[in-house]
Amino acid sequence: MNINPGNYWPLGSTIQKSFQIPQPNHPYYLKYGYISVNPTNGLTVLVYRKGNLDSGDSGTIFMNISKDGGANFQQEQIIYGPITNFDCRNIAGGYDSNGVLYVFFAKWDLIHSNYTSINYLYSPDDGNTWSIDYILPNLNNTTFSPYGHIIDVGINNLGCNTLYQTWYGDDSTNYSLYLYKSIDSGVSFTLTNIITIYQSTNNICIEPSMVNVGGGCFLVLARIVGGTSFYQFKSEDNCNTWGV
């Protein structure tokens, strides 16, 4: 089986197989998460939240690794949690082009029934060691969540990688789509476009996912709440301005 990273990045695995991971007493096992491939060695990872409830319990973040392109997975391991009185949920992120694995997540306060922060942490060695968890700005939204795979744009004029991570939030008036941006290879992230990609009271857009088409062109697909359709947004100037 050829698992040369060139066969997997950036379009993903060509191997197809149905498999099942044991679900010991967790109805919401493998809910909220992502699959990502390390472009430097071909490792495939599943990162996910595991809990007894969809929300309202102490959800914990796990990962599982495959060394054969997803044909088989090893023993799962805890990345973050459990934390008393908090649900760690809504997992996003993935590998960048240097093989650094990022995990973005939202923390829900079980006592006060509200979101408290969007956090991220990273591993340079496929989950063997992890950074501390960093808190990101959320523009005083009352509801917020990271979503989708991290986007690595490549080397910038600082000699570092530019990274983007999509997320969405609600400021009690409108839901909006946002981006986090790093220009220092993921050492830090800031808000970009500060305003929003898009917002609407009639068509509430959440759960965005972004793809780098190339040549400064990016596409974002977002789900419309309560409907059966999606909105697609497009930037042709490296995420500086957006249109529908």
Q: In tens digits, what is the pLDDT along the chain, a chain of 244 residues?
A: 344 444 444 444 344 445 555 555 555 555 678 999 999 999 999 999 987 766 667 789 999 999 988 888 888 899 998 999 999 999 999 999 999 999 999 999 999 999 999 999 999 999 999 999 999 998 888 999 999 999 999 999 999 999 999 999 888 777 888 999 999 999 999 987 655 666 666 678 888 999 999 899 999 998 887 767 888 889 999 998 888 7
Q: Buried (b) or exposed (e) across 80-93, using 16+ Cβ within 10 A?
A: bbbeeebbbbbbbb
Q: Which of 108, 136, 164 is the last residue of a domain?
A: 136
Identify the pLDDT of residue 90.
Answer: 92
CA–CA separation, 169 vs 205, rounded Å? 10
> Taking Cα atoms as reference points, which of 134, 129, 225 lies closest to residue 187?
134
Q: Which of 85, 113, 136 is the last residue of a domain?
A: 136
How many structural domains is the chain composed of?
2
Q: Which of 136, 155, 170 is the last residue of a domain?
A: 136
pTM: 0.86
Contact indicator for 101, 36 with CB cutoff of 8 Å: yes
Contact indicator for 212, 220 with CB cutoff of 8 Å: no
Range of the domain at 102: 1-11+21-136
Same domain, 7 and 104: yes
Upstream peptide bond of 39 is cis (omega within 30 degrees of 0): no
Contact indicator for 88, 33 with CB cutoff of 8 Å: no
Identify the pLDDT of residue 29.
Answer: 54
16 within a domain of the structure (yes/no): no
Query: Which residue has 């306060």 as its token pair?
Result: 109
Same domain, 201 and 131: no
Distance of CA 205 to the CA centre of its chain: 17
Same domain, 163 and 210: yes
Same domain, 181 and 84: no
